[in-house]
Amino acid sequence: MEITSVINEAVTTISELDKKRKILSEKLLPLTKLNLLESGSPELAEEKLIIPVEKSSLNCKIAGVDSGFIDKDLFALDLVLIRAVGAVFNYKKEKLAKADYFPSFYAFPEPSLSKAGLEADEFQCSKSIQRLIKEVETAKALIEKFSPEFCFLDGSIVPQYADKPRNESGIKSDYHEMLKQFQSLYKIAEKNDCELVGCVEDSRGSRFRQILQEQLLSNQKNLSWQLEGCYDAILLDYLLKPGERSFAFNYTASTKEHPILMDFDEKWSKSVRAFYLKPVSFDRPLRVEFLHQNGESISKHASKVASMVFAQSCMHREYAYPSILIEADLHAKLHSQEIEIVYDKILNKLNKGFKLRLRRDSRPF
């Protein structure tokens, strides 16, 4: 196929999808008028599908944690560098008054070597687990040292499916260590009265859409069918206006069936909630996750979290992401030169002529 025809086809497909989704969202508009609580479903814990959010005033201490990793495949093993960095913004009268960092403004990344004999998928999983452990450890230390009122994580506050190794895998113990660390983080956040908030940049979640299909569109099969395959963030991009959020919902329909949450203590597995927030006109909604214990009003709690995320993410009309996480990302991001430094040092200490580099990385031309 010629490149121009591929481009034309892509443009047509995207435009048609956009048109369809607009029509679809218009069809969904009546749902926004419903009182969801009348349904009696535990999945629909807030009154409205779409809820306006008030921007919180910034007069508090907010932390953000991000991590970066970079790896280099070598012949006998793989070299991994991980850097997890926390930033703390102290706001006074809506202005940033001071910034602190953990472990420091510039932290040299921690190098580690992959476990011997891992399969390719296990190696990917192992790297991700190591990175999450470092990130969570940093978040824990940050909360204990600086007592922020909010602690933002870059990404979900729950490990992802891909982070779970096979049952017989050699990195299973690492996985359990990761779960331990996550639950320890939840506990420390709770103890320190710190709101743990996960912000997912480009979420591919579809839980919101599933709830719609199952709870609100069960009688409209045709409409429900049309929603199939649509990510939440795309669907809600049409439904939400800037300064609005979706209702908050449970992270999963059944914690016992969720591959990760099934391994958590029940206290935590049942407390993970999420909603989508649209902070600015020209960016997609942001998926926000937080921990909610029964007893408090979910609506009030979600609005409190949404207010802070909104205040932190509404400065740029084309880029909705909390400023504290932008700062943490600048510190955590790793560059290829950094792993080359470690690699060169290893090579220097080895005998001359040691064949460490992969053949595919050593092509002469």
Instruction: Point out which residues bind another protein (CB under 8 A).
Output: 87, 89, 94-96, 99, 105, 315-319, 323, 326-327, 330
CB–CB of 279/242 below 8 Å? yes
CB of 53 to another protein, least distance (A): 17
CB of 157 to another protein, least distance (A): 24
CB of 325 to another protein, least distance (A): 11
193 torsion bin: left (phi>0), alpha (psi -120 to 50), beta (else):
left
* Distances from the Cα of 349 to the Cα of 78, 90, 109, 181, angstroms: 17, 45, 20, 35
- CB-wise, 12 or 59, nearer to another protein? 59
CB of 91 to another protein, least distance (A): 9
CB neighbour list of residue 162: distance below 8 Å, 6 or more residues apart: 124, 125, 128
- CB-wise, 53 or 212, nearer to another protein? 53
CB of 257 to another protein, least distance (A): 42
Of the CA atoms within 13 Å of residue 203, those in its CB half-sphere come to 31
Residue 105 CA to residue 88 CA, distance in Å, equals 11
* Distances from the Cα of 90 to the Cα of 61, 62, 348, angstroms: 5, 7, 44
Phi, psi angle pair for 273, to nearest 5°: -125, 160
- CB-wise, 223 or 342, nearer to another protein? 342
- CB-wise, 249 or 321, nearer to another protein? 321
CB of 51 to another protein, least distance (A): 23
Residue 85 CA to residue 324 CA, distance in Å, equals 11
- CB-wise, 232 or 327, nearer to another protein? 327
Residue 286 CA to residue 309 CA, distance in Å, equals 9
CB of 243 to another protein, least distance (A): 14
Phi, psi angle pair for 21, to nearest 5°: -70, -35
- CB-wise, 98 or 166, nearer to another protein? 98
- 3-state class percentages of the chain: helix first, strand second, coil last, to nearest 5: 45, 20, 35
- CB-wise, 87 or 239, nearer to another protein? 87
Residue with tokens 């809506």: 94
- CB-wise, 92 or 180, nearer to another protein? 92
Residue 273 CA to residue 263 CA, distance in Å, equals 17
Q: Classify 351 as helix, strand or coil.
A: coil
CB of 312 to another protein, least distance (A): 9
